[in-house]
Chain A
């Protein structure tokens, strides 16, 4: 028995050393996304996009004297904070990842940030977490995001109403971090502009009946009903109920309501309704579509561009700092993301690495016109659309 124990211990040690040696030139990047759970259909293209950026860096051969970036996937589950924390903890302590590309849903992103990233000093760049609460979380300068905060969307929505000369609205939001955050941000901006919110009522998703909520909102009145929820869940239920009772006929829709399925079901009744959704357009977007399509990735899926940008920023920040370490990423992300410097589009990461190697400056534009503001989050471009003849039509970009 004793011999057997000794033998296994010896094997373990030998294996451990071999393991360390073979990866001496590797830097591991955690790709923590919700591969299972409510957004499991969105995450595969997101993960592939992030890994595409890392592959591009590796293949250029210009990265830090031959260091290879190795993605390590972890499951954030979107809803289960303890499972997400455990997955991140494993990546950081066992696999030794130096930076994290993720997570996606706001709740689990916050959990990973406070429980794993901050205690271990590992920087995170989230491609999809939009809760305004994350802007003020204590992050020791370790948290960045390539998606805009909903605080910004609140301003955009208030601006749209102002443009349309609407001063009285009723609001309903999905009762979770996202809905509440967006509703609060919108209320703050709208009231600052002199608008009145007659009633802000939450709704639960997937409930049997929304007559009570609509009854109260109709009584409160308002020119339009702002629906800040999900298109295939409670948000649609609220709109259907409002249309059925004739309580409201025009709606303002938050980004969660932007879905073709909504038009397929209710398109005929939604003419004249309007809303906003994060959008990207321009050279960077086109370049990304080209690169991604070539690699066999669905570039049009949600948050693929943000994912590519998040991973690219990690690599560029390491290059700028001269080492594949957590500290280098945290210190240099803002620097490579913003002006001054040579503008870098998707597919040009090799060129960016060369410039950085020569001591030059880069301004990473990427697929989403990356511009990090405030505590390291994307300024974001929103598409203001109106529904006409059962289709989304762009009014302007904000």
Chain B
């Protein structure tokens, strides 16, 4: 019985939150990695693209809620995601037309594009705040929990509670669906194959008749979709505040780099590695060990490897180690 309690406590405080957070990071990192792989630069504006897409989805959600549309136990925001993707795609394509295309035509060095994307980031930052303001926005509705800690305790009679939020469930399901679709698209469709060809060798791809503008267009559409989905899922799970999305940029880049820039599989693995290291290494094992060990051996301290102050340090130490010993990332992406 005590082993069950220990497992439940571990699942509730480490496994479930880390899996949900990892899925959100993975979707964000996929967007970053696609741009890096195909358009060949690190897009610092990705966090704010997420904020913009989510903002469009939030506005659409409010519209739907105003019209009385609801998905029952599921959040209405899921219905608003297409509207968010449209909004994000419009902004990203407009930016590409006005800004990035100019530098692409000049064959500008990646580092110049990085700086350009930083400028774009600040513009997006301002745009989002201009429309919806800098404050926290609430748009989640429907059932909050699949199972709440209290219900779980009442149901099983265990000491420990296990909570699974609806949003955590949706996050994982949607993340799996999106990733599966992306892989199918990249490997089985003509456009997907041309995207990979363009990524592998631009000149060769151009010689074989691939239309570069089309590849760029499809890439931005995917990035808009990934950014909006990741942003909406994160906003549903936590809350929507433009500044937090800007801050998400760091863990997202850490995930993409750990996994290997340009490698979609790496982005997913990286997302989970960063999430689990942030939550896991700073976890205090007192509760879990308390259930497992006999009373005489129960720890009096917290049995915490590192204090939570160091959780960001942990993910960055992993980043540094990966870059030192395997600069292309775990899944052999491109060298950064």
Interface, chain A (partner B; CB < 8 A): 175, 199, 201-204, 206-209, 211-216, 218-221, 232, 236-237, 240-241, 244-247, 261, 264-265
Contact = CB atoms under 8 A, between A and B. Distances in A.
Contacts of A175: 309
A257 to B, nearest CB: 14
Contacts of A214: 13
B238 A208 contact: yes
Interface in B237-278: 238-239, 241, 243-244, 247-248, 251, 275, 278
A209 B244 CA distance: 10
Interface string B141-177: 0000000111000000000010101000000000000
Nearest to A211: B17
Given A216-B304, A219-B285, A264-B138, 14 more contacts: A199-B284, A201-B309, A202-B309, A207-B244, A208-B247, A211-B21, A212-B278, A213-B311, A215-B279, A215-B282, A215-B283, A216-B302, A237-B239, A245-B13
B208 to A, nearest CB: 42
Closest 6 CB pairs of A and B: A246-B149, A211-B17, A219-B284, A215-B13, A246-B161, A219-B287
Given A201-B308, A220-B284, A265 B247 contact: no
Nearest to B301: A220
A219 to B, nearest CB: 4
B191 interface: no
B240 to A, nearest CB: 12
A211 B17 CA distance: 6
B234 interface: yes
A237 B238 contact: yes
B149 A215 contact: no
A246 B135 contact: no
B136 A212 contact: no
A271 to B, nearest CB: 14
Contacts of B288: 219
Nearest to B311: A212
B241 A206 contact: yes
B251 A208 contact: yes
Contacts, number: 105
Given A202-B309, A208-B251, A265-B136, A220 B286 contact: yes
> Which has the most chain B C-beta neighbours within 10 Å: A236, A241, A244?
A244
Contacts of A232: 135-136
Nearest to A204: B312
B238 A218 contact: no
Nearest to B284: A219
B335 interface: no
19 contacts: A175-B309, A201-B308, A206-B247, A208-B238, A211-B18, A212-B278, A212-B279, A212-B282, A215-B13, A216-B282, A216-B304, A218-B287, A219-B286, A219-B287, A236-B239, A246-B149, A246-B161, A265-B136, A265-B138
Interface string B286-305: 11100000000000001010
Contacts of B279: 209, 211-212, 215
A236 B136 contact: yes
A244 B140 CA distance: 14
A241 B12 CA distance: 11
A215 B14 contact: yes
B95 interface: no
Contacts of B312: 204
B211 interface: no
Given A215-B14, A244-B163, A208 B286 contact: no
